[in-house]
Amino acid sequence: MLGMDLPAVAPVATAGGAYRVLARKYRPQKFSELIGQDAMVQTLANAIRRDRLAHAFLMTGVRGVGKTSTARLIAKGLNCIGADGQGGPTIDPCGQCDPCVAIAEGRHIDVIEMDAASHTGVDDVREIIEAVRYAAVSARYKIYIIDEVHMLSKNAFNALLKTLEEPPAHVKFLFATTEVNKVPVTVLSRCQRFDLRRITPDLLFSHFSRICGLEGVEAEDGALWMIARAAEGSVRDGLSILDQAIAHADLDGEGVVAAAQVQDMLGLSDGGATRELFGLLLEGKSGPVIDAVRDQHERGVEPLSIVRGLMALAHGIALTRVARGEDPAETPENREAMGRWAQAMGMARIQRLWQLLLKAHEEVARAGDPLEALEMALLRIVHASTLPDPDELARLLAGQGGVMAGNGSGTAPGMPTAPGGAGAAAMTTPPSRQDNVVPLDQPRAASAVSPVPDMRPDPGNWTLEGLAGELSNSGQLMLGSLLRREGRVVSITPGVLTLSRQSRLTDGDAADFARALTATLQSPWVVELSDADGAPTLAEQAAASNAAAEEELRAHPLVAAVIRTFPDAELIRRGGEERGIARDARS
């Protein structure tokens, strides 16, 4: 299978018998040994076969996925002459001809490697520009491999542009970078770009298993899976960890890379302890949660590692919930526990738990005392685990019932359960419409400010709201608003509106009202101010109506139960009307 082959025998050690770390010892020597980059290998193979080779290549990706190794393999493939000395460019360099051997040993005169991190200036690029004019000494192509090319200065990039766009036919440029966003777009447009992918844990597991076989080392599958996950897609990182794990196993005397040893070496939380802590969080047991955290911390597990273990469980539960299949990297115990929790938890609760853990990770990572931050964050999660999910709460308020998170019943904490046990759904029947309670699924009655009728009333039937509405509809918005806020009616007769002086209205306001009403209603109107007491203003009437409606709503048993559950809750006005949904702004 392409991308999974390794040398049949272990590579020889360096001169003098010095030990070579696994990352160098098993560096790919041909394209078939690259793992996880099949698309790039296929593209290069087709380009070589059809003689459509670009003059510049850019390899980008995270550390340890094979960028520099790929550049060297391209250099070998382009300059390989075959074991018989008659070969041409190939995707499978022989590894035996002089160019292949010299390039592998880093001593070929026509393959120049430059570290842009230490050669960042124009003078370094000028040397390249001067040298490209001369043909290769012994190879087919003169190849420049520039690692971490994003470290070149802006002036150095600009100096290279012309040569990079139209290099001599015998020159190839191979760039490698981990931060492609820092490479100028003028350079990117002149290169054929390959994005090397992170290596998946299953490929890393297979790769490490083969290397252990070549090294004559016995390793448990659980240990290799831990290393594969800890590598985060980087082959070099994984091989470095494997090197350390092998040394750690040798010190133990048994020579077996065990999962428990790798777990201690990496400071990972124990899977069983993490599952136990996760279960305590879901059950809302604050005391046992603190004891479990401190027990893990005393055994050397870092607080951040504890949070990551809990997040991995929550993520696995979510994937199990959406039927993504079993992860081979998970232990059978983890898979069984995640399947059980996925059946018992709704997606809303899983997402809320994930957000809380994500917040905990952020707080623990930046806290001065990570353990204290972890304990406080987990106590917050314990408190949240006893609260109902928003969708269940909404169904209860709508009179549809439902099982609420925390106590497993259909009631919020503090509400009586329906006959039939704690698991029975409570209040599944909507409240009777005969009760003197505003139904929760219906908007409340209209406020005191009623809509303006389509047809004007008889001159003797005008009301204050009618007059204010006529003023607003005719464009006199400020006068209409002032009449609603300050107008205290003493009397209304045909053509005469008498208002109380107890408000903040002035004689000038009265004159403005008279002129506006006369022009709007096309009949003479007089507005007078009287010392007599007047009726409440329209604004005061609306406020009183809203307050009464809110009190009526708060008296509803379900709303009262929600407010008891969420002490800091408040009724939200939506579209000018309370809908009966209580929300906690701090939850």
Q: 383-417 burial, b for 16+ CB within 10 Å, e for fewer?
A: ebbebbbeebbebbbeebbbbbbbbebbbbeebeb
Query: Are 51 and 143 in a shared domain?
Result: yes
Strands 171-177, 142-147: pairing is parallel
Query: Are 46 and 140 in a shared domain?
Result: yes
Residue 27 included in any domain? no
pLDDT given at position 388: 63
**284: Cα within 13 Å, side-chain hemisphere:** 10
Q: What φ, ψ does residue 507 adopt, rounded to 5°?
A: -60, -35
Residue 341 included in any domain? yes
Residue 31 included in any domain? no
Residue 336 included in any domain? yes
pLDDT given at position 326: 64
Among candidate residues 150, 171, 195, the one where a domain is terminated: 195
Q: What φ, ψ does residue 475 adopt, rounded to 5°?
A: 100, -5
Q: Which residue has the tokens 């040893």?
A: 261
Among candidate residues 195, 218, 248, the one where a domain is terminated: 195
Query: Are 280 and 160 in a shared domain?
Result: no
Instruction: Give the angle subtended at the CA of 288 by the CAs of 284 and 294, to the nearest 5°.
Output: 125
Report the distance separating Cα 184 and Cα 162, nearest Å: 14
Query: Are 42 and 146 in a shared domain?
Result: yes
Among candidate residues 139, 160, 195, the one where a domain is terminated: 195
Query: Are 465 and 327 in a shared domain?
Result: no
pTM recorded for the entire structure = 0.56
pLDDT given at position 358: 92
Report the distance separating Cα 77 and Cα 79, nearest Å: 6
Residue 233 included in any domain? no
pLDDT given at position 478: 85
Report the distance separating Cα 73 and Cα 433, nearest Å: 80
Residue 47 included in any domain? yes
Residue 189 is part of a domain; what is its CATH number? Answer: 3.40.50.300
**359: Cα within 13 Å, side-chain hemisphere:** 13
Residue 332 is part of a domain; what is its CATH number? Answer: 1.20.272.10
Residue 244 included in any domain? no
Query: Are 381 and 284 in a shared domain?
Result: yes
Query: Are 358 and 479 in a shared domain?
Result: no
Report the distance separating Cα 88 and Cα 76, nearest Å: 11
pLDDT given at position 337: 83
Residue 255 included in any domain? no
Query: Are 375 and 474 in a shared domain?
Result: no
Asked if 95 contacts 63 with a C-beta cutoff of 8 angstroms, the reply is: no
pLDDT given at position 406: 41
Collapse the DSSP code of 44 into the 3-class scheme (helix H, G, I; strand E, B; otherwise coil) and give the result: helix
Asked if 80 contacts 94 with a C-beta cutoff of 8 angstroms, the reply is: yes
Structural domain boundaries enclosing 54: 37-195
Collapse the DSSP code of 315 into the 3-class scheme (helix H, G, I; strand E, B; otherwise coil) and give the result: helix
Helix (H) or strand (E) holding 578: strand 577-583
Q: How many folded domains does the chain comprise?
A: 3
Asked if 148 contacts 176 with a C-beta cutoff of 8 angstroms, the reply is: yes
Report the distance separating Cα 534 and Cα 490, nearest Å: 5
Report the distance separating Cα 143 and Cα 172, nearest Å: 5
pLDDT in tens for each of the 587 residues of the chain?
Answer: 334 344 433 444 444 467 888 888 888 888 888 888 888 889 988 988 888 888 999 999 888 888 988 999 999 989 998 888 888 888 888 888 988 999 988 889 999 999 888 888 899 899 999 999 888 888 899 999 999 999 999 999 999 999 999 999 999 999 999 999 999 999 999 999 999 988 888 899 999 999 998 888 888 888 888 888 888 888 998 899 898 888 887 655 566 888 888 877 876 666 778 888 888 888 888 899 999 899 888 877 888 888 988 998 888 888 888 876 666 666 677 778 888 888 888 888 888 889 999 999 999 999 889 999 999 999 998 887 666 666 666 666 665 544 443 444 444 343 333 333 333 333 333 333 334 433 434 444 444 444 444 455 555 578 888 888 888 888 888 888 888 888 888 888 888 888 888 777 888 888 888 888 888 888 888 888 888 888 888 888 888 888 888 888 888 888 887 777 777 777 776 654 444 344 443 33
